[in-house]
């Protein structure tokens, strides 16, 4: 109990940083975005989206369900390593503005399918076919990631043998689309990794952190713009998703202690 309470207080100090800059998107998505400022974002395909919406975002649940482009990078993603467990409610990347991803990768299942291509995913036992979105070269990035994974020691390479990407579905117990629905996420070794909902149901529950995914694998994914669910308080250690706005040079956190903070409501 004392350990969990320490995580709560640490989280209240560091995990709710008011961050988010328009430049995160321009740096992250490059030529997919024509312009972005504090009013709107204009994509190369002609889509225009508001940078901020009027929906209430006071509580953690409201932030999850009413996220917009301003709050999406609200918590800085820390790619420096897991020197300590993620603080309470520190889950950078779980706040997602769904219309943004639909505008980029496909609004409907049919639209998404037009942007999907099969890639060869090499394993220690051969190769398998995986679907990935070609917008923003996500498919090509996964191929490069796979090449680097295959250079790791066999014990680590084997964790990439069981891999899944595209699956049009909703996140468990929500009406929010999974990033797998867009073909921009991949899960590795689901039977050997950990997921927070296996031990808790409430978003605001006190959760003991667990992880078996080597950082050698994590760092390869981050090199190509993918974030890891193991850097979340709501850990999903099998999960990687393409979120370059959170790894943009001007926006990535060097350490969580650099963040400013304010109280969060539950």
Structure confidence by residue, pLDDT tens digits, 161-178: 999 999 999 998 888 999
In a domain, 263, yes or no: no
In a domain, 265, yes or no: no
The residue to which tokens 């999960």 are assigned: 239
In a domain, 264, yes or no: no
Q: What is the pLDDT of residues 173-219, one digit of tens each?
A: 888 999 999 999 999 999 999 999 999 989 999 999 999 999 999 99
Number of folded domains that form the chain: 1
Quick one: pLDDT band at residue 250, thresholds 50, 70, 90?
A: confident
**142: Cβ–Cβ under 8 A, 6 or more apart, which residues?**
119, 121, 130, 132, 165, 186, 224
- State the average pLDDT for the chain: 89
Provide the token pair at 125.
Answer: 């036992």
Q: What is the pLDDT of residues 82-126, one digit of tens each?
A: 657 899 999 999 999 999 999 999 999 999 999 999 999 999 999
Regarding pTM above 0.75, the answer is: yes
The residue range of the domain holding 24 is 2-258
pLDDT at 255 over 70: no
Q: What is the pLDDT of residues 116-135, one digit of tens each?
A: 999 999 999 999 999 999 99
Question: Could you give the 3-state DSSP secondary structure of residue 225?
Answer: coil
CB 103 within 8 A of CB 49: yes
Give the chain's end-to-end CA distance (angstroms, integer).
19
Q: What is the pLDDT of residues 26-57, one digit of tens each?
A: 999 999 999 999 999 999 999 999 999 999 99
In a domain, 266, yes or no: no
β-bridge pairing 226-228 and 239-242? antiparallel
The residue to which tokens 């680097």 are assigned: 148
CA distance linking residue 228 with residue 80, whole number of Å: 12
CB 3 within 8 A of CB 221: no
CB 76 within 8 A of CB 243: no
């Amino acid at each position: 109990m004392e350990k969990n309470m320490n995580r709560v207080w640490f989280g209240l100090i560091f995990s709710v940083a008011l961050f988010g800059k328009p430049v995160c998107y321009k740096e992250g998505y490059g030529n997919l975005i024509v312009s972005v400022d504090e009013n709107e974002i204009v994509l190369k395909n002609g889509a225009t989206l508001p940078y901020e919406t009027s929906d209430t975002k006071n509580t953690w649940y409201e932030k999850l369900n009413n996220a917009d482009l301003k709050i999406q990078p609200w918590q800085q993603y820390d790619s420096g390593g897991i020197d300590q467990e993620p603080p309470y409610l520190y889950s950078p990347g779980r706040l997602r503005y769904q219309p943004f991803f639909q505008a980029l990768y496909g609004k409907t299942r049919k639209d998404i399918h037009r942007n999907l291509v099969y890639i060869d995913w090499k394993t220690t036992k051969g190769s398998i076919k995986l679907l990935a979105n070609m917008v923003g070269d996500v498919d090509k990035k996964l191929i490069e990631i796979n090449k680097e994974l295959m250079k790791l020691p066999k014990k680590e390479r084997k964790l990439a043998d069981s891999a899944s990407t595209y699956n049009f579905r909703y996140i468990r117990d929500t009406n929010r689309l999974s990033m797998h629905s867009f073909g921009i996420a991949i899960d590795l070794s689901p039977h050997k990794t950990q997921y927070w909902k296996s031990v808790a149901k409430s978003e605001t529950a006190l959760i003991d952190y667990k992880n078996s995914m080597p950082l050698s694998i994590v760092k390869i994914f981050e090199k190509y713009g993918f974030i890891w669910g193991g850097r979340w308080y709501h850990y999903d250690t099998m999960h990687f998703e393409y979120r370059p706005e959170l790894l943009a040079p001007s926006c990535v956190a060097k350490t969580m202690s650099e963040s400013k903070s304010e109280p969060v409501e539950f």
